[in-house]
Amino acid sequence: MLDEVDTRAIRRESTRSRVLQAAWELARRDGLAALTLRDVAARVGMRAPSLYSYFPSKNEMYDAMFAEAASSLAAELRGSSGNDAESRLRDRLRRFVGWCTADPTRYQLVFQRSVPGFAPSEESYQITVDALRATREAVEAAGIRGDKPFELLRGTFNGLTSLQIANDPGGNRWAVMADEALDMFLDRYAHQRRRARRGA
Amino acid sequence: MLDEVDTRAIRRESTRSRVLQAAWELARRDGLAALTLRDVAARVGMRAPSLYSYFPSKNEMYDAMFAEAASSLAAELRGSSGNDAESRLRDRLRRFVGWCTADPTRYQLVFQRSVPGFAPSEESYQITVDALRATREAVEAAGIRGDKPFELLRGTFNGLTSLQIANDPGGNRWAVMADEALDMFLDRYAHQRRRARRGA
DNA sequence: GTCTATATGTGGATAGAC
DNA sequence: GTCTATCCACATATAGAC
């Protein structure tokens, strides 16, 4: 009987997952804001009201998508590696750009406010906050401290990805500048570390 | 009789202008995408269908707003001045950031694709293309050539303004970094002029 | 859990009177 | 030019049968 409960819960999760996948597909095709419950339901062979068994509202469905996307980004960034702090930062930023440009729709949901009336729940939003804090730590591990340099780096990479997605979706005209951007940044802000090393 | 024609045309333009102003006010209050013809009309003491005397469709109204905003930006940037090319570039970039952050709604219409189903007409879009080309010329006048540096600068400033607007609208946490960002950029790319370039 | 039926609301756009 | 009346399509969400 406990087995039955488990089985039911698993099937339920599976259906919920199928619904979310259908929502992503439609959002990629027609745009995030153009999502309708009718279309999502039709895509999994249901009618719109049936979705309310899985999500209490449309915005809760957006929130589940947001959480999925944010978790995916966090996982991608956690996979960063390198022999030293600078290499790990470089890898992390490359992964960031790669993740953002791989799926503009996903990027828009997480980083832009492109769905009128939707804001992520505190819980879902926290996933992105944690990822940002980890990036801040990676920057500091590379010897760069202070809000200003960090926010400048953040702005630079935000700008590159958003130009990429707005003007050349699917391409890499701006994405390939990630390394160059980091070099420019390190040229200016990593000098303390190098000078200190040289001086010592 | 020609006078009458003129008077009528002037009144018409005046009303059209009032409609646009009402649209901006509502867009700032409720968001660009939340604009409705009913609300806009009500704000100028009309009913929705009357607006069709001034704009053939809602998207044409958006396009008129886009053209207005783009022209305003172009005029602002044309006012840039300075004693040398670098100062003029710095002033131009300051003006850019100032213009963008002064009115997030205006910025969103011109630089983000935040209205589903709306794209500017070729004619309106051209205004922004011209402004961008003039900025490119200002960068080259400062001795910096090539697509890559220019696009990197463009990305950096795009990123700063978008962070500013998304996270601190009305404030200046990121806007004040404009000078710092340009310094970082010049550190790396204006050195050709002054000394041998390091690295590749 | 899924359905049909429906409440309830929205908003762009057109027809035709004045 | 502005109005009323209306069309039409759409969408979220609920009630209640099965």
Partner residue facing B152 (CB), from A151, A155, A177: A177
- Residue matched to tokens 């189903």: B117
CA distances from residue A128 to A67, A187, B146 in whole angstroms, order as listed? 9, 28, 35
Question: Looking at residue A56, what DSSP letter applies?
Answer: S
pLDDT for the residue B119: 96
pLDDT for the residue B5: 73
pLDDT for the residue A198: 37
Partner residue facing B184 (CB), from A159, A174, A188: A188
Quick check: B151 and A159 CB within 8 A?
A: no
Minimum CA–CA partner of B188 in chain A? A184
B49 CA to C16 C1', in Å?
Answer: 13
Sign of dihedral through CA atoms B28, B32, B34, B40? positive
Q: Tell me which of B4-8, B131-135, B149-153, B159-163 is least confident.
A: B4-8
* pLDDT surpasses 50 at B196: no
**Distance separating alpha carbons of residues A49 and A42, to the nearest angstrom:** 11
B9 has a chain A CB within 8 A of its CB: no
CA A148 to chain CA mean position, Å? 23
CB A27 within 8 A of CB A105: yes
CB atoms within 10 A of CB B5: 9
- Chain B hits for A185, CB-CB cut-off 8 Å, are 184
B154 has a chain A CB within 8 A of its CB: yes
Average pLDDT, chain B: 93
| B200 vs A193: which has the higher pLDDT | A193
B115 φ/ψ sector (left φ>0, alpha ψ -120 to 50, else beta): beta
* pLDDT surpasses 90 at B3: no
What is the enclosing helix (H) or strand (E) of B42? Answer: helix B37-43
Closest-CA distance of chain B to residue A42, Å:
22
Minimum CA–CA partner of B31 in chain A? A116
CA atoms lying within 13 Å on the CB side of residue B57: 5
What is the distance between the terminal CA atoms of chain B, rounded to a whole angstrom?
71
Q: Is A56's CB less than 7 Å from nucleic acid strand C?
A: no
| A196 vs B9: which has the higher pLDDT | B9
Closest CA to B26 of B49, B42, B14: B42
CB-based contacts of A177: which residues, under 8 Å, 6+ apart?
A160, B148, B151, B152, B155
Quick check: B163 and A158 CB within 8 A?
A: yes
What is the enclosing helix (H) or strand (E) of B157? Answer: helix B147-167
Binned at pLDDT 50, 70 and 90, residue B4 comes out as low
> B19-49: per-residue pLDDT in tens?
999 999 999 999 999 999 999 999 999 999 9
CA distances from residue A160 to A174, B36, B178 in whole angstroms, order as listed? 6, 33, 16
pLDDT for the residue A116: 85
- Residue matched to tokens 């607006």: B51
Fold for B60-199, please state it. Answer: Tetracycline Repressor; domain 2 (1.10.357)
Domain boundaries, given as residue ranges, for chain A: 1-56, 60-199
CB-based contacts of B51: which residues, under 8 Å, 6+ apart?
B19, B37, B40, B41, B61
**Distance separating alpha carbons of residues B162 and B100, to the nearest angstrom:** 9
B114: tokens are: 């935040």
> B41-95: per-residue pLDDT in tens?
999 999 999 999 999 999 999 999 999 999 999 999 999 999 999 999 999 999 9
CA distances from residue B94 to A53, B34, B64 in whole angstroms, order as listed? 52, 31, 26
| A115 vs B16: which has the higher pLDDT | B16
Residues of chain A with pLDDT under 70: 1-2, 4, 192-200
CB A160 within 8 A of CB A174: yes
CB atoms within 10 A of CB A88: 16
pLDDT for the residue B44: 98
* pLDDT surpasses 90 at B198: no
Q: Tell me which of A100-114, B134-148, B186-200 is least confident.
A: B186-200
**Distance separating alpha carbons of residues B198 and B181, to the nearest angstrom:** 19
Closest CA to B32 of B117, B106, B83: B106
Q: Which CATH class is domain A1-56?
A: mainly alpha
Minimum CA–CA partner of B181 in chain A? A152
> A16-50: per-residue pLDDT in tens?
999 999 999 999 999 999 999 999 999 999 999 99
